[in-house]
Structure formats: structure tokens, C-alpha cells
């Protein structure tokens, strides 16, 4: 968190379901040195492209330093520190955020709870692009403000569930240093903050203990002991170990680290961050060392220059980590030195002619791949291999990125048309629209891939393929992969792709049965656990060679968007089921009494070219529904609403659930989806069951009662009041100001404008 900014978290009213229906089509981005999730990489940041992107990636290639930063919520992060270490020092950084902020308020609209969690996930990923960090989450949910860590742990089922996820991330990422944003003390304030600090201390040691969470060891993860643990939230007048100036300017960024990082923070608009600005003048972050696994610990009160003091983070330094076992792999030190030499050569070349850096970078990539294979086949222990391979595979990715930037290689992938052209972009025109240019399970579609050789040498195309899930089929559509591409030239290929009818849809791998009460997510796909969001389903990969040196470039299939204002953005193509089913209204209040009844509308949308099915609601025992079912038929993508009448005969005052089900093609569909999106953060799909939560209540409504209501964020209370038969008028701040003036007389005239300005 940037220390000077305001924060506000509180439990909000039940969310109003937001339905977004958009028309979508193609926009693809070229290769860049970005780290963040492709779901928000609408286009490369300027600093991550071209020569600047190359030089920033070379900074990363020079070091093996790995840092993990732990926080409680989105916006807690020390963005200035993350930007300094990642972009300034080239450190590979992973940020672990315990929850997704789904229990907070929404400054922008009515999306709350799990839908807000998706928004804040995207916002944080957008911020991470500026920080230059990877992102992970645990399975705990933000249940609203908590006063104590004891309350937080009680809601989260104790320490073990969230601790297991934290240990998993440490054992996977294998950081040299961990720093916790919070201390685990009352000064942290929020109970989630305190829990975050407490858990980080525990995870620092637990990750190295093979008896803790042994199921992870059985999966193939290896124990890992980070070298040092630091804590943030330290004042300059206290016992600090490291003092980092985040206000220093970086010539590649063109501004200070805190200024650049703050641009990322400003994407967290649901928290009001758009109005926050960094204070002028010098900025420092203070951290205190609170645990160390190094043999030589610094003396009490000693100061360090950086988190990695006492840790060899050079490429050749990886061999020294093996200790006595280094003698078992005598070939390792010279090969690491050879790789480091290629980085030095590329760095020197980039200062003179960026394209000339391509040759040493491709050579370094070749050496790194060979070393990965050799380490993997060696007789080193599993833990030693895991340590080396984590760093070497990171280097492999960085070499690939840097080489493509140096050589000007570009690959784009998105929906195409039968004549080989990219599909034109579109935007939402109304509630009745259906999602076009998504991948519909069971429906064949076309993809257009465009490859550009920006180098000064001919490119030999070794392989041009799509990466699709198992069970999918694809083939070239009236095209042929060229064997060679001339300098400055390119090629465009169209693929015909067919996903199976049971293709895995693109949705969050986690869910809560009842967001009002559940404080832990259920994991639907364990393969993705701790990821921010599941990976996009389709990408292209090209293996090429330049002057005999081999490289690779890949690109996710993306679709272009622009909204009613003309703001352009893009997001990866996503798989959706053929049918989406929603129940409306999502909440229903039914007055108990003689012959009670209520309405139910089941909205069915399809992205398929044709189809038909039967809608039938499932009502509680003893209820009646009219009609019992209704057939729906489609001859093109679109939507249809089936209307029903509910009769809760003899139902007692209580809560009930009414579910909507569509049977089509021998399959049942019982979920609806919405696109949660914004031009600055990209988008993702939010799925929810086709469910109406109904409450039968005993209420006596006064005759002729009129209510004036001032709306709050995510407020659906006026709809509930109307369902009770009340006359509700929504009031604006100006209405309230005028009412006060009329009630109080002219003496209040000077006061009324103040009310209008501040409400």
C-alpha cells in the first residue's frame, strides 16, 4: 500500500446482479516483456516495448534475485518498492495477496461480493503491469472489516487453509527473500492485515519443513527455505534494516519508481484510487529484518543496502548454492559463466545497436535450454534441481522475450473471416446483444495468425502451431506455412479450430456457494490453485531460426473491444457454453397470505448458430409453477425470455431457492455468465447459478405510505420495498438539499449548497 493514501472497507448491502452483453471481435498485441496476466494486458506498456523493453529485460537477465511480497488485500502493496526492485534492479518478484477484496465497497457501481472480487483481481493485475510483478492469491475471502486477527482466523477456518496456499506459492516460486507488508501487530489495524503478517512469519519456516503439508511434497513440490524475511510498516524513527528511496528517477522509465508505480495503483478505481496522487518530494520505504536462514546474521541494529545483501544473485552464483554437492556437477559453473557472458555481450550491443543484441541473446537462450536439460537429467537431489530449474526457466523466458524485442519479432492471433481478414471490432449496443467472437463450445471458428520478421536477416520458420486444450482439433484453412520469411516481411495464416461440446469454459476456478456467508472459496480446478485467473485457452507458437540461432515467439488469441465512448481495449478469446441461463429477478420478496404469488423470468442466451431446448424451473416442495416448462428455439445467436408464475402455496415465513434449468441437446445448463470488463483493466467472465433467492415474509404495509430513498453503492433495497407494495421515489442530493431548505426556511439557504457538494 502507498502509505499516504486513504483506505475504506466495510460490509455492504446485497449486490445487484449486473448483466453485461457485448459484441466482441479481434485485436492482438505484439510480443513484449510484460509479466502480468494476459487478461489485462490490453496492449504493451510503452516501456515494455522496443529498445526500452529490451534494456529492462536485460536488467532481469543479469540477476537471479527472487522476492516475494505478501499483503492482505488489493491496494495494500508497496508499489514504489515493487517497481524499484523489479524494474530498477531486475528482481523477479511475486506478490501474494491473501484475498481479492470482495468484501469491500465499490466506488464505481453495484458489483459487490464475488463479482467485485473479479473486478479487483483485474484491477490489481493492471497495477502489477506497472510494478512488473507476478500475482498469486490464496482461497480465503474478504468477509468485510475485521477488528482482530482472532476473528479473521475464526472466519478463515484457522491458520492451516490459508497457510497451505502460502507454502505452496513459496515452494513453487522459491524466493530468496520474503517481505511482509504487515507486522502481525495491532498497529496494522485491519484484522486481515494482522493475519497476513502472522501467517507470513509462519510460512517462512513452514515451507522448508517437509512434514508440513506433505500432500504438496507427494505432488512433486520440494521444500524451500527462503534466506531472509523482512517486514514493512516501519517508521523512520524505529529500528529499520533497509531504507529504500523510491522517489529516485529511472532514465528508462522517465520518472521515479513511486510515480511509475502510482500509475498502476490508479487502476484500482473501485477503491477510489483514481483520485490519489503521490506526495511530492523524497519517498522512502523502511523494512526490518525479522528472520534469517543465513549462517552469518547481521548484528542487531545493523543497516543493509538491499534485501539481497549477503546473497549471491549472479548467474554463476547458482552453483555455489549446492555447497559440497557442487563437485557432483563440475560442468555447472562454466556453463553458468558462459550464459552470463552472453548477457554481458547483449547488454553492450543493445547500447549501440539493439538489433545486434539478438545474436548473443539467442545464443544465451540455446545455452540455457541445454543446461536445463542437463540439470534435469543430473544426479542432484529433487530440492537442488527445483532450485536451479526455477531460476533457469525464468532465464529461458527472459531470453525469449529479450531476443524477440531485439529482433523486432511480432506475432498476433485473433478471430478471422473466411476471406483471411481479421474480424472487425464491435461494441455493446444493448441488453439484447449476445456475445459474438467468443469461442462457443462445440462450434467451429477461424483464427488468423500474423507473423512479422522485424530483423535484418531472413527467418527460417521451423514450426507454426496452435496451443489448444486436449480434445480440440485444428487445421490450416487454405494456407501453407512458409519455410522462410524475408527481412521486414511477414505472413498471415488462418486456422480452422473446433472445440468439443464439453470444452472447459473460461471461468474462475473458484466459487462460493453463498457469497453472503462463505469465507472460503471452493476450488473447482486444483491445477490452477493460487493463480489469479486461469490461463487463456488458445495461443500460437512459432519456432524460428535467424542465422542458425533458434528462437521462439508465442501469442495469446485476443479479441478487440471498444465501448460506446470509443475507448479501445482487448482481452483473450474465452470459451463459453452454448447457452447461458439467468433467473430474474435474482431476489424475490413474497408477501405471505392468501394465494401468494410471484413472477420468474428465465433468460436464455446463446452464441450458437441454432439450437432448441426446454426451460423448466425447479421450485421448493409444495410450490406450484405455471407453466411447468417452456420450449425455446434459436435460428441464430440471440436471447429468449421464458416467463413463469410461482405459487408458494402454504409456504411459511422463510427463505427459499428457485432454480432455472435448460435442457438442450441432451445436456443441462444451469448457469449464466456476464462479462466483467473495463477498458483500462481488460475483462473476464463471471458465472453464477440461474438461481432466484425468494423470501416469504409477513409484513403489514400502511396504506398510502410513500418513501423517499437515497441510493447507496450496490443498493437493491428500493426494488425490495416495491415488491412489498410500497411507493418508492429515489432522491438525488439536490432533492434532499431542497427539502431541507423548504423545511427550514430561507435561513438555511447558505447551508443547502454545502449539502449538495458533499453528499
CATH of the domain at 461: 2.60.40.1230
**pLDDT reported for residue 430:** 36
pLDDT at 432 over 60: no
Categorize the per-residue pLDDT at 26 as very low, low, confident or very high, splitting at 50, 70 and 90.
Answer: very low
- The answer to the question of residue 548 being in a domain is yes
Categorize the per-residue pLDDT at 752 as very low, low, confident or very high, splitting at 50, 70 and 90.
Answer: very low
H helices within 408-541, ranges in order? none
Measured in whole angstroms, the distance separating CA 51 from the mean position of its chain's CA atoms is 27
Residue 68 DSSP class: E
Dist CA 33 CA 420 (whole Å): 29
Residues 590 and 627 in one domain: yes
Could you list the residue range(s) of the whole structural domain that residue 351 is in?
19-35+314-568
**C-alpha cell of residue 530:** 493460487
Mean of pLDDT values over 204-208: 98
Residues 528 and 663 in one domain: no
Residues 740 and 676 in one domain: no
Mean of pLDDT values over 686-702: 90
Dist CA 542 CA 130 (whole Å): 28
Residues 395 and 522 in one domain: yes
pLDDT at 30 over 80: no
**pLDDT reported for residue 566:** 74
User: H or E segment at 88?
Assistant: none
**C-alpha cell of residue 506:** 473460461
Phi/psi at 730 (5° precision): -80, 130
**pLDDT reported for residue 561:** 81
CATH of the domain at 172: 3.40.50.10320
The pLDDT tens digits for 327-376 are 999 999 999 999 999 999 999 999 999 999 999 999 999 999 999 999 99
Reference 538, options 619, 445, 629; nearest CA is 445
Cα angle for residues 613, 618, 624 (degrees, 5° grid)? 115
Residues 691 and 753 in one domain: no
Residues 622 and 715 in one domain: no
**pLDDT reported for residue 275:** 82
Cα angle for residues 547, 553, 554 (degrees, 5° grid)? 160
Owner of C-alpha cell 517486514? 231
- pTM of this structure: 0.89
The total domain count for the chain is 4
The pLDDT tens digits for 727-743 are 888 888 788 777 777 76
Categorize the per-residue pLDDT at 13 as very low, low, confident or very high, splitting at 50, 70 and 90.
Answer: very low
Q: Return mean pLDDT, the chain.
A: 88
Owner of C-alpha cell 475471502? 141
Residues 116 and 255 in one domain: yes
C-alpha distances (whole Å) from 442 to each of 1, 107, 181, 576, 577 are 45, 39, 46, 10, 8
**pLDDT reported for residue 15:** 33
Mean of pLDDT values over 97-101: 97
DSSP 268-282: -GGGTGGG--PPSS-
**pLDDT reported for residue 699:** 80
Amino acid at each position: 500500500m502507498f502509505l499516504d493514501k486513504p483506505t475504506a472497507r466495510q460490509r455492504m448491502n446485497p449486490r445487484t446482479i449486473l448483466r453485461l452483453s457485448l459484441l466482441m471481435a479481434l485485436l492482438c498485441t505484439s510480443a513484449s516483456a510484460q509479466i502480468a496476466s494476459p487478461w489485462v494486458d490490453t496492449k504493451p506498456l510503452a516501456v515494455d516495448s522496443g529498445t526500452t523493453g529490451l534494456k529492462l529485460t536485460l536488467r532481469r537477465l543479469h540477476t537471479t534475485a527472487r522476492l516475494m511480497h505478501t499483503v492482505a488485500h488489493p491496494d495494500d502493496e508497496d508499489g514504489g518498492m515493487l517497481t524499484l526492485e523489479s524494474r530498477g534492479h531486475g528482481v523477479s518478484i511475486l506478490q501474494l495477496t491473501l484475498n481479492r477484496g470482495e468484501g469491500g465497497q465499490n466506488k464505481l457501481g453495484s458489483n459487490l461480493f464475488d463479482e467485485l472480487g473479479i473486478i479487483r483481481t483485474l484491477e490489481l493485475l493492471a497495477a502489477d503491469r506497472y510494478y512488473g510483478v507476478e500475482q498469486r492469491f490464496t482461497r480465503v475471502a474478504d468477509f468485510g472489516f475485521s477488528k482482530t486477527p482472532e476473528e479473521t482466523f475464526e472466519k478463515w477456518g484457522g491458520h492451516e487453509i490459508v497457510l497451505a496456499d502460502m507454502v505452496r506459492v513459496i515452494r513453487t516460486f522459491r524466493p530468496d527473500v520474503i517481505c511482509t507488508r504487515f507486522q502481525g501487530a495491532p498497529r496494522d489495524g485491519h484484522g486481515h492485515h494482522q493475519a497476513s503478517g502472522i501467517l507470513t512469519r509462519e510460512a517462512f519456516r513452514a515451507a522448508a519443513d517437509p512434514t508440513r503439508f506433505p500432500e504438496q511434497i507427494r505432488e512433486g513440490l520440494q521444500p524451500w527455505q527462503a534466506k531472509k524475511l523482512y517486514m514493512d510498516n516501519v517508521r523512520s524513527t524505529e529500528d529499520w534494516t533497509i531504507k529504500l528511496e523510491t522517489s529516485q528517477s529511472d532514465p528508462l522509465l522517465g520518472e521515479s519508481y513511486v510515480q511509475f508505480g502510482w500509475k498502476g495503483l490508479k487502476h484500482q478505481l473501485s477503491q477510489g484510487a483514481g483520485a490519489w496522487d503521490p506526495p511530492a518530494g523524497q519517498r522512502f520505504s523502511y523494512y526490518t529484518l525479522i528472520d534469517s536462514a543465513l549462517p552469518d546474521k547481521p548484528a542487531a541494529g545493523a543497516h543493509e543496502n538491499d534485501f539481497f545483501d549477503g546473497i549471491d544473485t549472479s548467474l554463476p552464483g547458482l552453483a555455489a548454492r549446492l555447497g559440497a554437492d557442487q563437485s557432483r556437477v563440475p560442468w555447472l559453473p562454466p556453463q553458468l559463466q558462459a550464459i552470463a557472458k552472453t548477457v554481458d555481450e547483449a547488454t553492450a550491443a543493445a547500447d549501440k545497436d539493439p538489433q545486434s543484441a539478438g545474436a548473443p541473446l539467442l545464443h544465451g537462450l540455446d545455452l540455457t535450454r541445454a543446461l536445463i536439460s542437463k540439470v534435469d537429467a543430473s544426479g542432484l537431489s529433487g530440492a537442488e534441481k527445483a532450485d536451479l530449474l526455477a531460476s533457469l526457466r525464468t532465464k529461458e523466458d527472459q531470453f525469449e522475450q529479450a531476443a524477440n524485442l531485439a529482433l523486432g519479432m511480432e506475432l498476433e492471433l485473433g478471430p478471422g473471416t473466411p476471406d483471411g481478414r481479421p474480424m472487425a471490432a464491435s461494441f455493446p449496443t444493448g441488453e439484447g446483444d449476445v456475445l459474438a467472437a467468443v469461442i462457443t463450445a462445440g462450434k467451429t471458428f477461424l483464427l488468423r495468425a500474423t507473423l512479422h520478421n522485424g530483423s535484418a536477416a531472413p527467418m527460417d520458420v521451423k514450426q507454426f502451431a496452435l496451443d489448444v486444450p486436449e480434445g480440440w482439433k485444428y487445421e490450416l484453412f487454405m494456407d501453407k506455412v512458409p519455410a522462410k520469411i524475408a527481412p521486414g516481411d511477414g505472413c498471415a495464416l488462418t486456422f480452422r479450430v473446433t472445440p468439443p461440446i464439453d470444452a472447459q469454459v473460461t471461468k474462475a476456478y473458484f466459487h462460493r456457494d453463498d457469497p453472503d456467508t462463505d469465507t472460503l472459496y471452493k476450488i473447482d480446478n486444483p491445477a490452477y490453485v493460487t493463480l489469479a485467473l486461469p490461463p487463456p485457452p488458445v495461443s500460437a507458437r512459432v519456432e524460428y531460426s535467424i542465422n542458425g540461432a533458434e528462437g521462439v515467439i508465442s501469442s495469446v488469441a485476443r479479441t478487440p473491444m471498444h465501448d460506446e465512448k470509443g475507448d479501445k481495449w482487448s482481452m483473450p478469446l474465452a470459451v463459453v457454453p452454448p447457452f447461458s441461463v439467468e433467473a430474474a429477478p435474482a431476489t424475490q420478496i413474497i408477501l405471505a397470505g392468501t394465494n401468494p404469488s410471484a413472477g420468474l423470468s428465465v433468460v436464455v442466451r446463446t452464441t450458437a448458430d441454432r439450437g432448441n431446448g426446454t426451460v423448466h424451473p425447479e421450485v421448493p416442495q409444495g410450490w406450484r409453477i405455471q407453466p411447468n416448462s417452456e420450449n425455446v428455439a434459436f435460428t441464430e445467436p440471440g436471447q429468449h425470455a421464458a416467463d413463469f408464475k410461482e405459487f408458494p402455496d402454504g409456504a411459511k415465513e422463510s427463505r427459499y431457492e428457485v432454480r432455472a434449468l435448460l435442457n438442450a441437446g441432451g445436456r443441462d445448463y444451469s448457469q449464466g455468465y456476464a462479462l466483467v470488463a473495463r477498458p483500462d483493466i481488460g475483462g473476464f467472465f463471471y458465472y453464477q447459478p440461474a438461481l432466484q433467492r425468494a423470501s416469504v415474509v409477513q409484513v403489514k404495509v400502511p396504506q398510502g405510505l410513500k418513501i423517499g430513498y437515497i441510493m447507496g453503492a450496490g443498493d437493491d433495497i428500493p426494488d425490495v420495498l416495491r415488491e412489498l407494495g410500497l411507493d418508492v421515489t429515489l432522491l438525488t442530493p439536490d432533492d434532499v438539499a431542497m427539502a431541507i431548505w423548504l423545511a427550514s426556511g430561507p435561513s438555511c439557504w447558505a447551508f443547502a449548497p454545502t449539502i449538495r457538494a458533499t453528499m
